[in-house]
A and B are shown apart, each in its own frame.
Chain A
Amino acid sequence: MKKVLAFILVAILGYFMITGLMTAQEFSTYGNVNLDEKISRNFIDKDVNGKSDEIIYGQTSNPETGSANYVTSIIANYRIFDTLGEVTVLFVSALGVSLLFGKNTKKYNFYESNFILKTASKMIFGLILVVGIYIFVHGHLTPGGGFPGGAMIASSILLMYLADNEFKANINKFKQAESLSGSLILVIGLLGIVTSGYFFYNFLPTGTVGETFSAGIIPIIYTLIGLKVGSELSGVIYNFMLEGGEQ
């Protein structure tokens, strides 16, 4: 079953690569570049002087990028390749940590914590988790986004590890969530190719500025990035908790 799935995935990716290479032109000489093949025509023809409609929070509908937070529109839309690279860097570092520490299985035992600490940390754990989720779901409206939200989730897991010796996170579920969200980010990018011809094109309607369901694919991508970063850092922390030494 796994092999069939892997074969289908490779076949789809191979199809995209081959069709992409077939349609791509050779590099032309200087001055004869057909810009339509290199950059999105949208961005070349964009008039920055004339049309300057004021964008009003809560009223303007279907602007170019519907996110109220400008930084997010750059991170998760215009320069999404940077973000994809950052996610990859984080994945590689988590991979390195799990290669170093993954073979240890015994969990490290801290000092005995008392009842008050255990109960209070359980209450705070939920609050921190909800704030983290809020930060990455509202990444296109308020400051913050996928990376701080994910780190907040990971720090709530770390709090539980520090406060309670018996606490055991289901690390396999974290790994599944991480790989699933990582693949879904790429699937959204490929959907952009299918619908509009550009990788990670914002193909959904951008909606009204300031609403939760606006800005097209930006909140979806940021939610997926938040889940991926959170589960990845939780995995790194879990690996740190395992007792070291060469056995």
Chain B
Amino acid sequence: MENNIIEIFIGILMLFAGIKAVTSKKMLDSILYLSLLSMVAVVGFVIMKAPDVAITEAVIGSGLVTAVFLLTYSVVKKSGDIA
């Protein structure tokens, strides 16, 4: 029962983060919401007893991809293509 409540909460949080990542006006907010989505997905994978997938998601989804997006964001911002 307790697990169910946590799972529902995680699902709602993932939906919220996903929608916010698409609809945010600022690029930086989108990147951070995407990172939050991966972080919450990690908790979901751990609850579903898939630690291998959780580690991969934590390293690639919320670590490497976020860092690469931030790198791209700073490069694009310096070029002056976006506000």
Contact = CB atoms under 8 A, between A and B. Distances in A.
B55 A158 contact: no
Interface in B13-60: 51-52, 54-56, 58-60
A54 to B, nearest CB: 21
Contacts of B67: 155, 158-159, 162
Interface of B: 51-52, 54-56, 58-60, 63-64, 67-68, 70-72, 74-75, 78
User: Which of B54, B64, B78 has the most chain A CB atoms inside 10 A of its CB?
Assistant: B64
Interface of A: 69, 71-72, 108, 110-111, 135, 143-145, 147-148, 151-152, 154-155, 158-159, 161-162, 233, 237, 240-241
A161 B72 CA distance: 13
B55 A143 contact: yes
B52 A69 contact: yes
Instruction: Tell me whether chain B's interface is mostly helix, strand or loop, or mixed.
Output: helix
A147 B56 contact: yes
B60 A108 contact: no
A101 B64 CA distance: 19
Contacts of A72: 52
28 contacts: A72-B52, A108-B75, A110-B74, A110-B78, A111-B74, A143-B51, A143-B52, A143-B54, A143-B55, A144-B52, A144-B56, A145-B52, A147-B60, A148-B59, A151-B56, A151-B59, A151-B60, A151-B64, A152-B59, A155-B59, A155-B64, A158-B68, A158-B71, A162-B67, A162-B70, A237-B68, A240-B71, A241-B71
A146 B26 CA distance: 35
Nearest to B66: A155
User: Which of B55, B72, B74 has the most chain A CB atoms inside 10 A of its CB?
Assistant: B55
Contacts of A110: 74, 78
Contacts of A148: 55-56, 58-60
Contacts of B60: 147-148, 151
B52 to A, nearest CB: 5
Nearest to A108: B75
